[in-house]
Structure 1
Amino acid sequence: MRGHPVPILFISGPPGVGKTTVAWEIFGQLVDAGDAPALVDLDLLGACRPVPGDDPYNERMKARNLGAMWRNYRAAGARCVLAAGVVESRDGLAMYADAVPNAAAVLCRLHTGQEELAARIVGRGRERGADLDKLTRRAAELSAQFERDDVADFRVDTDGRDVAEVARAVLAAADWLRTTGVSARS
């Protein structure tokens, strides 16, 4: 027996684009509206070493942890999920969505210009021991890949916008709660 759809909004993009910051803002906006969201940072779900040679970004671990966390979030009353992290392919999206029974997944890609992206990475500089040049190169590579092989359902530009404005634009473009026919409210 299938249960109600579980709306999941994946917020993707290269490092430094603001995925986690925007996800937190959306979380707050949903809570303020009386909704019951859960929030996950996919990178943190895979923060485990060693990683398998055939899964260098530990995506299988992230998906398993997403499924386990969803069970706990659901038991606590959450009705939807915001997931911030790099989602590079429809297969990757499907792997994450398959971890949550009855997932109704929507993938948003955040975008910013290369100069702004590099400035954000250098400005935050919070990655302990991170090679910021390497991270900036990876962000530029991913940004170019996303432009070339976009797998997102929609894209939201972040240049010149504050976080609240970007979050509102994501929610408006996604229309994810309405399209599932499920309210995120309990």
Structure 2
Amino acid sequence: MAMRARPVPMLFLSGPPGVGKTTVAWEMFGRLVDSGHWPAFVDLDLLGACWPVPEDDPYNERMKARNLAAMWQNYRAAGARCVLAAGVIESRDRLALYAGAVPNAVPVLCRLRAGRQELAARIDRRGRERGADLDKLTRRAAHLSAQLERDDIEDFCVETDGRGVPEVARDAVKEWLRLAGDVGGP
């Protein structure tokens, strides 16, 4: 009789630019490690940082999924049992593309939410450090925020306005553990 492969819980943190996806994911990673879980962390934007991009895939989603598949093999060999992924997930099809890169994945999508003014303020603070096109990024954040609110594809949502990163991460971990059960450890 063949052994059934262990499920791989995956939490995707999604939301518009400036909402804190990567920062919250790092905090969650630390909390999971401290509580005896064995997580891996990926920033989906970095997995697709390659130029040129195909005309039919302007956000390099297929490249991100291929890189995630390759990285998961290494993470799994090192002992990781679950995955945190930070990036913009705009549809269930994109979620399925990424989840399909990890055998036996059990994906859960968390949308981080912030108000329009808070997003603009965060982008402004971040942009001063990097010299980004703040107006373009702020417009993209507002548009994407409205789209994600309208499409409502997430499994759960965590508010970030007026809250610190540790509090947001705590709530996201708590809800993920409630939905996913065991997310991996010894």
TM-score (norm. length: structure 2): 0.94
Structure 1 residue 129 displacement after superposition? 5.3
Name the SS of the counterpart of 2:106 in structure 1. Answer: strand
Instruction: Tell whether 2:175 aligns with 1:179.
Output: no
The 1:28–1:16 alpha-carbon spacing in structure 2 relative to 1, beyond 3 Å, is same
Instruction: Tell whether 2:23 aligns with 1:24.
Output: no
* Deviations 1:112-148 (CA, angstroms, capped at 9, x unpaired): 0000000101101178553111011000000000111
Name the SS of the counterpart of 1:83 in structure 2. Answer: strand
Structure 1 residue 175 displacement after superposition? 2.1
- Alignment correspondent of 2:117: 115
* Deviations 1:66-107 (CA, angstroms, capped at 9, x unpaired): 111000000001110000000000000000000100000000
- For this pair of structures, how many residues does the alignment match? 184
After TM superposition, the runs of 4+ consecutive aligned structure 1 residues lying more than 6 A away are none
How far, CA to CA, are the matches of 2:113 and 2:130 in structure 1? Answer: 25
Name the SS of the counterpart of 1:175 in structure 2. Answer: helix
How far, CA to CA, are the matches of 2:133 and 2:111 in structure 1? Answer: 25
Where in structure 2 are there 5+ consecutive unaligned residues?
none
- Alignment correspondent of 2:148: 146
- Alignment correspondent of 2:98: 96
How far, CA to CA, are the matches of 1:43 and 1:23 in structure 2? Answer: 13
How far, CA to CA, are the matches of 1:106 and 1:62 in structure 2? Answer: 18
How far, CA to CA, are the matches of 2:136 and 2:10 in structure 1? Answer: 31
Q: Return the letter of the residue paired with 2:38.
A: A
- Alignment correspondent of 1:135: 137
> Is residue 8–residue 183 contact of structure 2 (8 Å, CA) maintained in 1?
no
* Deviations 1:44-81 (CA, angstroms, capped at 9, x unpaired): 00000000001100011001101110000000011100
Name the SS of the counterpart of 1:165 in structure 2. Answer: helix
Where in structure 1 are there 5+ consecutive unaligned residues?
none
- Alignment correspondent of 2:38: 36
TM-score (norm. length: structure 1): 0.94
